[in-house]
Amino acid sequence: MSATTGTTDVAGTAAAELVVLLAEDGTPCGTAPKAEVHHADTPLHLAFSCWVLDGAGRTLLTRRADAKKTWPGVWTNSFCGHPGPGESPAEAVLRRAGDELGADVTAVAAALPDFRYRAVMADGTVENEVCPVFTASLADPGAPLAPSPLEVGDWRWVDVAELRAQVARDPRPFSPWMLLQLPQLRLP
């Protein structure tokens, strides 16, 4: 297994997940351990965001686990993550679907390939990402989800039109990146 995905190395020890650091023009310029990247002066880095959709016009929302370093306990799109060195964002979507949701996804499509944002938490922690946004479907829509409790505190399917109405009424329960992505996405 690969150290870049934060899994296990050949010796069987836990390896640190690395994120790809980016220059201001979006080109890779190094790596850093994910555990050390998010702070008050977070460097620009590569991420991705994915919206899982079903055939009934719904999207899967997840509430971030309370133990997450950034935006714990907030509702967000289906899942997010960081590609490792040498891994494309689309490949990372396929990997992280299993890690976070305990499910495989299919029909992965770039929806906002140039999305970039910066957001600051109340405690001063910053997200600073070039974050291509994807849509996908569950590979087996009938299979139960088995989200990782380290990643997901809760989840629910919500009609996209109802989500837009909820956000208009009260955006506070939602992640800043979700709030920026939703108006730009062409969802059912």
Radius of gyration of the chain (CA): 16
Candidate list 17, 80, 87, 131, residue with the active-site label: 80
Question: How far is Cα of residue 128 from the mean position of the Cα atoms in its chain?
Answer: 13
According to DSSP H, which parts of the chain are helical? Answer: 34-37, 89-96, 160-169, 176-181
The residue among 108, 113, 97, 85 whose CA lies nearest residue 152 is 97
Candidate list 17, 87, 100, 129, residue with the active-site label: 129
Examine the residue annotation and report whether 80 is marked as an active-site residue of this protein: yes
> Contact 77/128 with Cβ under 8 angstroms?
no
The residue among 169, 173, 167, 126 whose CA lies nearest residue 185 is 167
The half-sphere exposure of 10 on its side-chain side, counting CA atoms within 13 A, is 0
Joined together, the tokens standing for residue 171 give 């955006």
Question: Any bridge partners for residue 14, and if so which?
Answer: 8
Examine the residue annotation and report whether 129 is marked as an active-site residue of this protein: yes
- DSSP-derived secondary structure letter, 69: S
> Contact 88/120 with Cβ under 8 angstroms?
no
Question: Any bridge partners for residue 118, and if so which?
Answer: 128
Residues annotated as catalytic are 80, 129
